[in-house]
Amino acid sequence: MKNLYEDFANKAAQVIGFESTDIETGDRVLKNLFENSFFGGEPLRNYLNYRYFEPKSENFLMTNGAAGFLLEICPLVGVDNGVVKSLNLFFANELPKDGFLQFFLMASSDIDDFLNFWQAGRTNSHPILNRITKTRVDYFKKQAAGFRTSGKKLPRNFKIFISYSKICKHHTENELSELKQFRAKLTDKLASLHLQPNICNPAKLVRFAREFFELGQDEGTIKKQVQRFVNY
């Protein structure tokens, strides 16, 4: 229908003396604008599966009929064989065969949560002590921003994200309930190992994605990341 409309418009323009019309569809205008502005690049949404969040089941609805959830846990230092065996046994018996489970470890430069916790325990009525506390917070934030401002000492907050997804036929209430039931089993197991699992809502997902895809703040980091992207 769109092609038929364009052919008709062009023929009408030729009748009144124009070779072609200035009428363009919205898709064509956006495509031309994007190609001219970003040299043929593609938007990140083409590569991100998350689309909607269903608050009742706390699951994300994704592309291609998939659905799932995202958890954040604390890294466990000093893992022994008992923890490994416990997790292996759980995944062997409880992990659904048609699901996909992924772990992602991030050395995050977002240290605000740690600094806010540290600063909250050092409130004082004395202005000099408050200024010292604020100066130390600003110092660590500056170090965490990048190599140029850190003096090669990068404060990092290590986080582990666990994502689980499966293909659902129609995103029915029963299908989303099954995801919720498995998430409950998984969080109980992780909590028993003192990993403090937390369900990630859309705000946490956006915060994670922003840090993952955002280029570094200093020029040296930007050049390295751009060159790595070009080579890939």
More confident residue, 164 or 168: 164
More confident residue, 231 or 53: 53
| Residue among 98, 85, 83 nearest 182 (CA) | 98
Instruction: Supply the pLDDT for residue 139.
Output: 86
pLDDT digits (tens, 9 = 90+) for 9-45: 555 555 545 454 444 556 676 666 666 666 656 667 7
DSSP 24-81: --HHHHHHHHHHHHHTT---GGGT--EEEEETTTTEEEEGGGEEEEEEEEPPPSS--H
User: 195 CB contacts (<8 Å, ≥6 apart)?
Assistant: 73, 74, 76, 160
pLDDT digits (tens, 9 = 90+) for 193-210: 889 999 999 988 888 888
Identify the band that residue 212 occupies on the pLDDT scale cut at 50, 70 and 90.
Answer: confident
| Residue among 49, 102, 35, 42 nearest 229 (CA) | 42
Q: By percentage, how much of the chain surpasses pLDDT 90?
A: 25
Instruction: Supply the pLDDT for residue 3.
Output: 56
pLDDT digits (tens, 9 = 90+) for 117-155: 888 888 878 888 888 989 988 888 888 877 666 666 788
Q: What is the DSSP letter of 216?
A: P
Instruction: Supply the pLDDT for residue 82.
Output: 86
pLDDT digits (tens, 9 = 90+) for 64-77: 889 999 999 988 77
